[in-house]
Chains A and B, each alone.
Chain A
Amino acid sequence: RKEVEQDPGPFNVPEGATVAFNCTYSNSASQSFFWYRQDCRKEPKLLMSVYSSGNEDGRFTAQLNRASQYISLLIRDSKLSDSATYLCVVPSGTGRRALTFGSGTRLQVQP
């Protein structure tokens, strides 16, 4: 099983829709998780951090299910500007000092 797995999409949704992405991880010892956003040909940027059961920031909600080892990202009232690739990130490596990225889920919000 890959350390971090995501559905690559693409998810094509109309403006105003609610969309959810899932990310599964293999190491049950992981404590903190992140969602990054990456626009085409740009560097990834932090969207949200998840340390306990979940986190909410405006239209974005991240939830953690430790028993099933997955995290999810929910986007409500989608905007055209939300179109991007969303990357799930899990600490890994020796002493959990590295960061492993999922391959990303592409979202395309359509007018």
Chain B
Amino acid sequence: NAGVTQTPKFQVLKTGQSMTLQCAQDMNHNSMYWYRQDPGMGLRLIYYSASEGTTDKGEVPNGYNVSRLNKREFSLRLESAAPSQTSVYFCASSGTGGMRSEAFFGQGTRLTVV
């Protein structure tokens, strides 16, 4: 009954360091998403993947790269972390269209860049 699993749950980086956030889902969903949520604000879409092998930019893609490794896994990479990337990162997955569009979220990664 795992759903969407994100790792790590917490991370502190120094400015300029790189890291990859991992996300995996076991619901056979086609679509996967990466969002960031800053304190007191809503979720902003970084990148999404509508199916294996495809990725599209969201609202705030700068400073990030993604890889849809297979249907289950969607990773987010910060090549050179900046303090402005301090945030909570959520991965989500959903079916495609209509009633299957509900998104299920991972528990989040709390990232601090110092």
Name A's B-contacting residues (CB within 8 A): 6, 31-32, 34, 41-46, 49, 51, 87, 89, 91, 93-104
Contacts and interface: CB of A to CB of B under 8 A. Distances in A.
Given A43-B106, A46-B102, A49-B102, A102 B42 contact: yes
Contacts of B88: 41
A99 B101 contact: yes
19 contacts: A34-B102, A43-B106, A44-B43, A44-B90, A45-B105, A49-B102, A93-B48, A94-B50, A96-B97, A97-B50, A97-B96, A98-B48, A98-B50, A98-B56, A99-B94, A99-B101, A101-B44, A102-B42, A104-B42
A99 B107 CA distance: 18
Chain A binding surface SS class: mixed
B50 A101 contact: no
Given A44-B105, A45-B105, A98 B45 contact: yes
Interface residues of B, number: 29
B74 interface: no
Nearest to A100: B45
A32 B98 contact: yes
B48 A97 contact: yes
A17 B44 CA distance: 31
